[in-house]
Structure 1
Amino acid sequence: MVWSKGFKELIKLLQDNQKELIGLEVDLYGSGEDSDQVQAAAKKLDLVVRVYPGRDHADPVFHDYKVFLNPSTTDVVCTTTAEALAMGKIVVCANHPSNDFFKQFPNCRTYDNSNGFVEATRKALTEEPAELTGAQRHELSWEAATERFLRVADLDQDVSAYLHHVALGFETSRRAFGAIPGSLQPDEEQCKELGLAIPAAT
């Protein structure tokens, strides 16, 4: 939890639009050097904003959330946004080049200004998320991300196969790139959530 990860923008948007967003309850998750300051700023708001320590993205606590607010414009392509979309959440994010990739997904809502943030957030809370197609799920996978990287890098097939193996074949390298811990071999619960075949018991 550091200000540069979008917390500064989010607190400002909430502060500037407290009357328009009355009744909204927001839960923030994160641990980091700015946690105390973020919590202090949240307490000054008239809205209900709860701050919790960071948790793994696969934690069951996130299952019941429907909307993910991510005003960050510093993450280039934000993995938390990709994960939220893959989990079937509605994402409200800034209309910014760093979010261009996500605009293709039906559950992505973008805004240009403070009024747009309020409108997108209120609308997201009244809607149900659209179910992702198989192709859309694939676009949000690490495999597809690796394929896009290799296309942009224009690497030959032998190098591509090697990089694919290194990036996706080892838990350590997957975690270094932001993958959910333990997702190399998803457990039964993860398979159910992602619509994958449940591995046979050994």
Structure 2
Amino acid sequence: MRLRPVGPHALLAEVGDARSALGLALWARTAGLGVLEVVPAAETVLFDGVDDPDRLRERLAGWSGEPPAVSRGPVEVPVTYDGDDLDFVADRWGTDVAGVVERHTATGFVSSFCGFAPGFAYLAGLDEQWAVPRLDTPRSRVPVGAVALAGSWCGVYPTASPGGWRVIGRTDVALWDATRAEPALLAPGTPVRFVRA
């Protein structure tokens, strides 16, 4: 792990991959490190509101490298598989539409981090061999609830927005609701299962 200062009250931990970043973030949130925010990303974790950077460095040295057990069950997301890029993904995977649906619903995903838009979770779990390229030119509007792939990530668009991911289906699940105790349905560490609607 490499630690970099980010201003006087923040440290960025570079850990190299999404699994390690999620593991460090989940551990840090329960370890009483005395920071205001712990923000995981694809290969890093930002610690913000750090009063004593040297003490935090010492505490982070105690991380074993393993994520804690996830205490919640998987969130099921029902999907209608009719996306504009479904045939492209099937061709890329050397299968048909039914094969894409089978592989997608059989994959256990986990929310690694959130970004791009409130409630947009980057879901890890798809094997690297099934990675798909982003669109060469992003769409000007992807509808709310679009289930999409980019690289080996899966995501669900919480609002209508521009986007360059490959859309394979859609869901009616509300991913972001500011009136809930936890506004983001798929907060980091949440296991996710896609099921056919």
TM-score (norm 2): 0.25
Which one scores higher on RCO, CA 8 angstroms, separation ≥ 6?
2
TM-score (norm 1): 0.25
Report which of the two has the higher share of strand: 2
Report which of the two has the higher share of helix: 1
